[in-house]
Amino acid sequence: MALAHAILALLVNCPQSGYDLTKNFEESVGCFWKATHQQIYRELAKLETQGWVQPTTVVQDGRPDKKVYGITAAGQQHLATWIATPCDTMAIKEELLVKVFVGALVPAQIIQQQLLQHRQIHVDQLTHYRQVEAAAFQNSSALTLEEKLQYLVLRRGIRYETDWIEWCDEALASLHEEGHAKRNVEKKEKVKVKVKELAKKARLQLMRRKLKADR
C-alpha cells in the first residue's frame, strides 16, 4: 500500500483541504498507516499531477484562499483497481521486541520499565478507539455497508491495541516470576553460605577445645 491510496480513500466521500485531510488522516486511517503533514502535502501534489485528484480554490474572507482536493474519476478507477489487487502482509518492525529478545544484557528492571511505557501507549490508543466506537458506531445493527467496513477497520485497531496490552501484561508477569525465582535462589545461596560459616565456626571451636584438653 502506498500513501497515495490512503489519501484517495479519504477523499472518496468528500473533498478536503490539505489541513482537513491531515487531521482526518490521523483520526481514521492513522490507526494503520502513519504519515506526516509534509508527506501528505507532497503526495497531494503528485496525485494532482497524475490526474487522480483535482483541487478547487476556495476564497475565504480575511484569510488566505485554500485548496480543496477532490478525487477524480481516474482516481476512483485507480483506487478500485488497487482494491481488487491481492496484497501481502506487512513486515513487522517492533523495536521493543528486539530489546526484549536481547534484554538479558541489562537488569530486568530496564525491560520492565520499557514494557510499562509501551503498555501505557497502547492503553491510551485503545481508549481513543473506544471513544470513536462509542461516538460513531453505537448501533452496529443499523450501519450501512460503508459504515460496517469502516467499523471493521476500527475493530481491528481495537484488537491490535488489546493484544499488545495483554502481551505486555504477560511479559511483565513473566519477568516478575523470574525476579521472584532469582530472589529465592539468592536467598538459598545466602543460607548455604551462612551454614558453611556456622559449620566452620563450630569446627574451630571444637579444635580449640581439643587443644585445651591436650594441655
Categorize the per-residue pLDDT at 95 as very low, low, confident or very high, splitting at 50, 70 and 90.
very high
* Residue 176 contacts residue 113 (beta carbons within 8 Å): no
CB-hemisphere CA count at 13 Å for 173? 6
Amino acid in position 176:
H
In the chain, % of residues over pLDDT 90 = 57
Name the more confident of 150 and 178: 150
- What is the mean pLDDT of the segment spanning 8-13? 92
123 grid coordinates: 492503553
Burial 97-129, CB ≥16 within 10 A → b, else e = eebbeebeeeeeeebbebbeebbeebeebbeeb
How much is the pTM? 0.73
- What is the mean pLDDT of the segment spanning 134-153? 90
